[in-house]
């Protein structure tokens, strides 16, 4: 009978904004979720905001005990950027104490921490400057990553830069489910580019950190793409969906390049992002050690009834 290897990791996953609570406690600054809830609390289900969670910040020991009771030997969660570096520059010692105690508690109970750096929680101070739309965000993220690696690298040997970055982009720049709630495909492309560049620079920081004896990844929501029919237009639409939804981030993270077909489509529609000299080398030299795959369902695609050129969105 086939069996799982002894070192197979059985785990679960969550994130800082989903579990920690203590939204503005002990020096933590507001994220986009904190500020959005302050601005439009009526848009949150049952008026429940970021403060109201499972309170891991206060009861992480009970959480770890539950993990152990379920026989988990790994657990993925995230660090809150706004807790570790409330102003983007100054290390918060209370955050360091909390995360070190939390991760050590996992290790003491035979649970390996797998730590992600960004789970949809952009610092508000950076969002006010433009968030991922501005190049400045890339270097801020790289500094945050470097800080986390040095603060916790002796405890954490499996890292991720982003969780499902395309979800954040689609929901925030092509929809209303994440802040800033805009519908602008060109801005979404720029955000995607800066997110990937921030990822690559974080990988670079990990490689030259004091604790680079582990592995680093990115977590993507991947899915096989199927066309509705074998008609040429449906097949072409499925290929476009695969290029944007899947291969855009996957190729860049694993191969260090972007799919040329995607670049051509964006060029034809005047959607190419702003870049700088040296970016290609950063992508090429900083690929991942492994891929985190969140799988939900296949992606089924048909051609739009009215084809638009130039492309203004994913449904064109």
Asked if residue 144 belongs to a domain, the reply is yes
Q: How many domains does the chain have?
A: 1
**Dihedral (C-alpha) 286, 288, 289, 292: value to the nearest 10 degrees?**
170
Which residues constitute the domain of residue 119?
Answer: 11-223+288-296
- Report the mean per-residue pLDDT for the chain: 96
pLDDT at residue 305, as a whole number: 80
Over residues 148-196, the pLDDT tens digits come to: 999 999 999 999 999 999 999 999 999 999 999 999 999 999 999 999 9
Q: Above 70 in pLDDT, residue 137?
A: yes
Q: Above 70 in pLDDT, residue 308?
A: no
What six digits make up the tokens of 137?
């965000």
Q: Above 80 in pLDDT, residue 316?
A: no
Question: What pTM was estimated for this model as a whole?
Answer: 0.95
Asked if residue 313 belongs to a domain, the reply is no
Q: Above 90 in pLDDT, residue 213?
A: yes
Alpha carbons 280 and 258: distance in angstroms, whole number: 9
Asked if residue 184 belongs to a domain, the reply is yes
The CATH code of the domain that includes 194 is 3.20.20.80
Asked if residue 18 belongs to a domain, the reply is yes
Tell me the pLDDT band of 314, cut-offs 50, 70 and 90: low
Give the lowest-confidence range in 135-144, 244-253, 303-312: 303-312
Sign of the Cα pseudo-torsion (28, 33, 36, 42, in order) = negative
pLDDT at residue 67, as a whole number: 98
Q: Above 90 in pLDDT, residue 231?
A: yes
Asked if residue 302 belongs to a domain, the reply is no
Asked if residue 274 belongs to a domain, the reply is no
Q: Above 70 in pLDDT, residue 113?
A: yes
pLDDT at residue 13, as a whole number: 98
Alpha carbons 206 and 159: distance in angstroms, whole number: 9
pLDDT at residue 292, as a whole number: 98
Over residues 73-102, the pLDDT tens digits come to: 999 999 999 999 999 999 999 999 999 999
Q: Above 70 in pLDDT, residue 312?
A: no
191 neighbors 169 (Cβ within 8 angstroms): yes
Asked if residue 312 belongs to a domain, the reply is no
pLDDT at residue 2, as a whole number: 84
Asked if residue 96 belongs to a domain, the reply is yes
């Amino acid at each position: 009978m086939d069996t799982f290897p002894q070192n197979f990791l059985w785990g679960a996953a969550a994130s800082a904004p989903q579990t920690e609570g203590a939204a503005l406690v002990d020096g933590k600054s507001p994220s986009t979720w904190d500020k959005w809830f302050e601005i439009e609390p009526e848009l949150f289900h049952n008026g429940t905001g970021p403060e109201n969670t499972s309170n891991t910040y206060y009861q992480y020991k009970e959480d770890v005990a539950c993990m152990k009771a379920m026989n988990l030997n790994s657990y993925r969660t995230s660090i809150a950027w706004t807790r570790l570096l409330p102003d983007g520059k100054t290390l918060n010692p209370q955050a360091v104490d909390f995360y070190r105690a939390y991760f050590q508690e996992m290790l003491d109970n035979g649970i390996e921490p797998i730590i992600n750096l960004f789970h949809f929680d952009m610092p508000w101070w950076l969002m006010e400057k433009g968030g991922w739309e501005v190049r400045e965000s890339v270097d801020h993220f790289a500094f945050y990553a470097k800080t986390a690696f040095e603060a916790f690298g002796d405890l954490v040997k499996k890292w991720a830069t982003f969780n499902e970055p395309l979800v954040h982009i689609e929901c925030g720049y092509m929809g209303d489910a994440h802040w800033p709630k805009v519908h602008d495909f060109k801005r979404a492309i720029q955000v995607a580019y800066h997110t990937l560049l921030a990822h690559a620079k974080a990988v670079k920081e990990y490689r030259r950190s004091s604790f680079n004896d582990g592995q680093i990844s990115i977590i993507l929501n991947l899915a096989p793409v199927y066309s509705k029919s074998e008609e040429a237009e449906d097949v072409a639409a499925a290929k476009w969906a695969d290029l944007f939804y899947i291969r855009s981030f996957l190729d860049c993270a694993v191969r260090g390049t972007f799919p040329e077909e995607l670049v051509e489509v964006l060029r034809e529609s005047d959607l190419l992002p702003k870049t700088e000299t040296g970016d290609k080398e950063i992508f090429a030299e900083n690929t991942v050690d492994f891929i985190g795959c969140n799988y939900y369902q296949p992606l089924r695609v048909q051609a739009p009834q009215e084809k638009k050129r130039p492309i203004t969105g994913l449904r064109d």
